[in-house]
Structure 1
Amino acid sequence: MDNLGIVFLAELVGTAMLVLLGCGVVANVALAKTKGNNGGFLMVNFGWGLAVFAGVTVSYASGAQLNPAVTLGLVANGATEFGMGVPVNVVSVLTYIAAQLIGAIIGAVFCWVAYKQHFDAEPVAANKLGVFSTGPAIRSYGWNLVTEIIGTFVLVFVVIGFGGGRQGDGGLAALGALPVALLVIGIGASLGGPTGYAINPARDLGPRLAHAFLPIQGKGGSDWSYSWVPVVGPIIGGVLAGFAAIPLLPLIG
């Protein structure tokens, strides 16, 4: 139980750091009167990659999963142990996911605090929501779902392929912070165009909840009609990757 508490704290802090910096780079690009306004999608890709680097670095104790799709993908892959020797069971899985969601909400709140004046100055409600959550370039729920499944499959498959499912850490920490950061940049640059590549249910749902309850001037709605896509798609993609990677384990040592 002591180890599970440390794991919870590590996942919470790591996910909060991930979302603070990730949503922060979107705020810098999207909101009015910032130094990085109109910096472009590639700047967002690099910012999210470095956000992952920071989140993984501060959450090695838990295996730095930071993503329910990774957690469930590792379970599907047959992991028996998470970070700090925590056994894989219903309680530990729920602990990871709860910490990730709460951490994502906290990170989003601090992002809003950091950019409070720019949220106030931004006239377009969609730009404000875009800081917190993803949205499709072309709204087509079925195809948007497919995009999220594919992007998350790549993330989890590569994590497991490089050792995330078999080295005891049970997460991104086994792969290493820098390779994971580069992987996320690559996914964003290659597959992020259609949906903004949530590839993480907590990263999208947590900030979307923060957007809903924070007193943001002129924020508009939180687009709940789309909100299921960046939750369901990554879960499906992560689980499929976990199952698909099973035959690889004897080949990669």
Structure 2
Amino acid sequence: MNLGIIFLSEMVGTAMLVLLGCGVVANVALVKNKGYNGGFLMVNIGWGLAVFSGVIVSYASGAHLNPAVTLGLTANFLGKGETEFVPGIPIDGASIFTYIGAQFVGAFIGAVCCWLAYKQHFDEEPLPANKLGVFSTGPAIRSYGWNLVTEIFGTFVLVFVILGFSYGGTPAELGAIPVAFLVIAIGASLGGPTGYAINPARDLGPRIAHALLPIKGKGGSDWSYSWVPVVGPIIGGLLAGWAALALLPVLG
């Protein structure tokens, strides 16, 4: 195992996640699609299965696919005295940078592929907000402080429960299935206020793609909100990693 494999694994996995995740939003939000107006639950299920697919193709790296997961695992592993993410890959600045860099690159690639798949529907969609909503999240009620709190809670649940899988002895044969159900649960329960980014790469990478791509009538990329789905998940992931050190050995 080397950092090149880690980069490729995380890039491909995150691209798959974003292609399918943004794809389900495009199917629901853009006019003239067969899934148009499919509803928020369809989006939740689509994102859960998108995460499942990304995890399946990125097992070589441990399938982080999310800077908040990488940082949460770092906090937890170092607290337990562990020194490697996966065999042969030490927990250090170079590996953390490789994981996170690959996640952002993969998210950008996945967003571009989604736009290409739905190009004609982007052209037909009259509302710029619907076009941006395919790429990145936005609040139902804009209140940066409370939006931040929602993203912290959602990401805390994500990372805490992922760590709980190892403490609780989740059967290995289930593979990525528990993570898929977890993402669906977070979306259905906590996704309403902000659209549950719970992943800085998933939000910022596609937002950059939205800003750069020649999307017909796209409008702005809402940069004033863009820090919330980056900072909130990072805080939530770190808090979950530390909390798991104290709570999961007792609860598990």
TM-score, length basis structure 1: 0.94
CA deviation map 1:207-238 (0-9, x unaligned): 00000000000000000000000000000000
1:116 lines up with 2:82 in the alignment = no
- Work out the percentage of aligned pairs sharing the same amino acid: 79
For the 8 Å contact 1:188–1:196, the answer to whether it is kept is yes
CA RMSD of aligned residues (A): 1.9
Q: How does 1:47-126 map to 2 (within 5 A)?
A: 47-79=46-78, 80-126=83-129
Does the residue aligned with 1:46 lie in a helix, a strand or coil? helix
Which residue identity lines up with residue 69 of structure 1 in the other structure?
A
Residue 170 of structure 1 corresponds to none
Matched positions, count: 247
Q: State the distance in 2 between where 1:23 and 1:198 align.
A: 11
Equivalent residues in 2 for 1:17-56 (5 A)?
17-56=16-55
1:194 pairs with 2:197: no
1:13-42 per-position Cα deviation (integer Å, ceiling 9, x unaligned): 000000000000000000010000000000
**Secondary structure of the corresponding residue to residue 218 of structure 1:** coil
Q: Which amino acid aligns with 2:197?
A: A
**Counterpart AA for 1:102:** V
Aligned-pair CA distance for 1:175: 8.0
Amino acid at match of 1:116: K
1:252/1:59 CA distance change after superposition, 3 Å: farther
For residues 223 and 10 of structure 2, the distance between their equivalents in structure 1, rounded to whole angstroms, comes to: 26
Q: What displacement does 1:85 show?
A: 2.7
Say if 1:175 and 1:162 are closer, same or farther in 2 by CA, change over 3 A: farther
The Cα offsets for residues 171-195 of structure 1, whole Å up to 9 and x where unpaired, read as xx99831000000000000000000
Moved more, 139-148 or 173-182: 173-182
Rounded to whole Å, the distance in 1 between the matches of 2:100 and 2:109 is 14
TM, length-normalised to structure 2: 0.94
Could you tell me how far apart the structure 2 residues matched to 1:105 and 1:174 are? 31
Instruction: Measure how far apart 1:81 and its partner are.
Output: 1.1
- Cα distance in 2, alignment partners of residues 51 and 156 from structure 1: 17
**Structure 2 partner of 1:225:** 224
* Pair 174,247 (structure 1): closer, same or farther in 2 beyond 3 Å: farther
Determine if the alignment matches structure 1 residue 246 to structure 2 residue 245.
yes
Can you give the 5+ residue segments of structure 2 that lack an aligned partner in the other structure?
A: none
Is the aligned partner of 1:209 residue 2:212?
no
Is 1:69–1:200's contact at 8 Å kept on the other side of the alignment?
yes
**In structure 2, the residue corresponding to 1:77 is in which secondary structure?**
helix
Report deviation, 1:162. 1.1
Q: Name which of structure 1's ranges 69-78 and 93-102 shifts more when overlaid on structure 2.
A: 69-78
Letter in 1 for 2:22: C
Matching residue's letter, 2:133: G
Provide the C-alpha distance between the structure 1 equivalents of 2:121 and 2:224, rounded to a whole number of angstroms.
Answer: 26
Offset, 1:250: 3.2
Aligned-pair CA distance for 1:76: 1.0
User: Does the CA-based 8 Å contact 1:141-1:229 persist in structure 2?
Assistant: yes
Partner of 2:84, secondary structure, is coil
List, as ranges, runs of 4+ consecutive aligned residues in structure 1 with deviation greater than 4 Å: none
Partner in structure 2 of residue 6 of structure 1: 5
Structure 1, unaligned stretches of length 5 or more?
168-172
In structure 1, what is the Cα distance between the partners aligned to 2:62 and 2:251? 20
Q: 1:175 to 1:209 in 2, by over 3 A?
A: farther
